[in-house]
Copies of this chain bind each other. A is one copy, B any other.
Amino acid sequence: MTRVAIIGVGHSKFGKRNDASLRELAFEAYKEALDDAEIESTNIDASVVCSATHYDKQRSPAGVVAEYLGLNPQPTFNVEAACASSAVGLRTAWALVNSGLHKTIAVIGVQKMTELPSEEIQELMGRAGDVMWESPFGTTMPAYYAMYATAHMARYGTTQEDMALVSVKNRKYGAKNPNAMFQKPIRVEEILSSRLVSYPLKLFDCCANADGAACIIVSHKDLARKGSKIPIWIAGLGLASNPMSLAGRKGPMTTFEVTKKAAKAAYGMARVGPGDVDVAEVHDSFTITEILNYEDLGFAKPGSGPKLLAQKETELGGKIPVNVDGGLIAKGHPVGATGASQIATLVKQLRGEAGDVQVDGARVGLAHNIGGIGMYAAVTLLKS
């Protein structure tokens, strides 16, 4: 296999971005990535646009994004896997470079969500579940994840306070991230006293809909080595699927089988294990999700995710710092951009450019996304 590296990353400000359209958000991230890689647009020979559907009026956004970014006539297309869209876009770009079809590709994750009323977004999100047998009966995203939360509480005695600590940690780091939507720390009491969304999840257990974009530029090893930045190598690319319907799933709702399978594939490809990971970005769509992810990624034993968190092992200075950029909970979750945002964070970490939140000597980074209610999971391993 040809080695493929990340040579540049860019990230827009996430949040309610009334000042920028979809194409303008994409441009912010793309321009920063080009500058970061110190290359020109003419060096990009394909683009992969990653965006979940229906959140804004523009269908087939690759068309308008490629035009606005000056990426015609190079190939472009859309890759979508709900919340894992740009992780899958990165995997696709890796394959396109590795197979020799392209040399340097811009993976652009972008989402414009906040023009829609929140109720409409909830209905749309439900439709990333099975529209024939589940979503018509009220399964919104918080409702889906709430079922996982109650199952974990019932089986392991996990509490709402345990979950709230995820939000406390991630908001603490979000306060140091100028691109985050929420830049104010939060206390456990504020979370527990926030309004109930779907028992046991309170408002501040949930990530927020947001607008935003992130861009990753991947390149063939020969070009990457000639670049100005340390190449960050794509070492593992795990992807797995699970039945979309909860009714079709087996086993307890205290774990995402799909994450375990994607992690196994990624660890195998990169020839590392959970103990080798220095810094991780995991999909904290809800506080409970981050706890499940600790366990499913092998950072903690089943049921002991809350303990890992309480002992501050997932904070800076701990065994495995997780979401030290604020995660989805502080950054906001512009669906198609989230996977690329995680990768951008890891690239900075592995280059030693993460400033205040730098994990000392980080050499191996892991990014994890869950798509929808767990029909997809992607685990990406990067090495410096």
**Which A residues lie at the B interface, using CB under 8 A?**
1-2, 21, 23, 46, 52-54, 57-60, 62-64, 66-67, 71-82, 84, 88, 91-92, 94-96, 98-101, 124, 127-128, 130-132, 237, 239-245, 248, 257-258, 261, 371-372, 375-376
Contacts and interface: CB of A to CB of B under 8 A. Distances in A.
A156 to B, nearest CB: 24
Copies in the complex: 2
11 contacts: A1-B99, A1-B100, A2-B99, A57-B131, A59-B127, A59-B131, A62-B375, A63-B376, A75-B239, A75-B240, A77-B239
A242 B76 CA distance: 9
A102 to B, nearest CB: 9
A245 B72 CA distance: 12
Contact of A52 (B59, B62, B75, B101): B59
Contacts of A92: 77, 79, 92, 95-96
A100 B98 contact: yes
A77 B71 CA distance: 24
A80 B81 contact: no
A83 to B, nearest CB: 10
Nearest to A247: B67
A210 to B, nearest CB: 18
List the 6 closest pairs (A to B, CB-CB), nearest first: A63-B244, A63-B375, A98-B99, A75-B239, A53-B53, A95-B95
A12 B148 CA distance: 38
Contact of A59 (B98, B100, B124): B124
A84 B78 CA distance: 11
A239 B81 CA distance: 22
B54 A54 contact: yes
B21 A132 contact: yes
Contact of A73 (B46, B73, B99, B240): B240
In this complex, the member of A23, A71, A375 whose beta carbon has the largest number of chain B beta carbons within 10 angstroms is A375
B76 A241 contact: yes
A195 to B, nearest CB: 27
A128 B240 contact: no
Contacts of A96: 92, 95, 99
A78 to B, nearest CB: 4
Given A59-B127, A63-B376, A77-B92, 10 more contacts: A1-B100, A59-B124, A60-B81, A64-B130, A66-B244, A73-B242, A75-B239, A75-B241, A77-B79, A78-B80
